[in-house]
Amino acid sequence: AFELPFTVKDRARVITASGGVVIANEAWNPGALLRDADAAMYQAKSKGRNRIQIFDAKMQQILLAKVEIANDLRHSEQRGELYLMYQPVYNIDGVTLKSVEALLRWNHPQRGLISPVDFIPVAEDTGMIIPIGVWVLNEALSQMRKWLDEFPGLSDFGIAVNLSTRQLAMPQLAALISAAMTHHRIGADRLTIELTESSLMADLDDSLKVLRELRDLGCKIAIDDFGTGYSSMAYLRDLPATCLKIDRSFVSQILRSERDKRIVAAMVNIANELDMQTVAEGVE
């Protein structure tokens, strides 16, 4: 039925639909039925949309795991379970430490270390990434202040913080970051904001507006996991980015794959032509 076109103002239109299906049994109740159908529908969307997904036991396990993570994550920061690790970024000579990237980690009291792959998407879906992101920013800048006080010779040294799609859509994001830098006495030229291609493309017009505000503050902008998302020349032209981070899936193959080697070389050339820095992920 959805494949059939319909007419609006003398023009043929077609709508696609994503559906979630639950096969009810004797134990079902209306609330659980709607919840599980909703989960199946989102699974259909994540698999490319315009399809039907039937809810099954595996999906139920995934859903319950997400609910448990969301419940435990809600108070993790107040309980001191969240912390940051700092991944170094070295110059190509392998000697000069240029900057660090702040990476969020969660040490659960019962389950131990939980992978960011498991809890970051839940934090984004529930909106908890907003307060957690504010904590990450301030924690990273606080650590940066300690390093600068302890090592005054760190003249050309910066720190990078990741932003998600939800954070990028926050009202007054630039003002919040500016206030944090002022509070911790960190110059904007030391702070790099990292975003993935997919987060940028969620709403490109609004993203451009926010990123220009951040560039006006003096912050640097890095595009993370470059090559795995849209990789559009159009957005490279328009974005006020200062750095391309080439995804490790390309970097790890350059000694074995001539094709990957040429792709990485092309990315580096593009960055050079646009006066952008290049970071190779996965060289460790």
How confident is the model at residue 60, as a pLDDT? 78
How confident is the model at residue 232, as a pLDDT? 65
How confident is the model at residue 84, as a pLDDT? 96
Report pLDDT digits (tens) over 97-135. 899 999 999 999 888 999 898 899 889 888 899 999 999
Cα Rg of the chain (Å, integer): 22
Asked whether the predicted pLDDT for residue 184 surpasses 90, the reply is: yes
Asked whether the predicted pLDDT for residue 52 surpasses 80, the reply is: yes
Asked whether the predicted pLDDT for residue 159 surpasses 90, the reply is: yes
Lowest-confidence range among 15-24, 55-64, 179-188, 244-253? 55-64
CA distances from 105 to 65, 114, 170, 220, 236 (A): 18, 7, 23, 24, 30
Residue 90 amino acid letter: Y
**More confident position, 273 or 201:** 273
Residue 94: pLDDT band by 50, 70, 90 thresholds?
A: confident
Residue 142: pLDDT band by 50, 70, 90 thresholds?
A: very high
Report pLDDT digits (tens) over 215-261. 999 999 998 888 776 656 777 788 889 999 998 888 988 889 999 89
Q: Which two tokens stand for residue 101?
A: 């990237």
Average pLDDT of every residue of the chain: 88
How confident is the model at residue 204, as a pLDDT? 73
Asked whether the predicted pLDDT for residue 268 surpasses 90, the reply is: yes
Asked whether the predicted pLDDT for residue 28 surpasses 90, the reply is: no
Asked whether the predicted pLDDT for residue 77 surpasses 90, the reply is: no
The DSSP secondary structure of 193-210, one letter per residue, reads EEEEHHHHHTTHHHHHHH
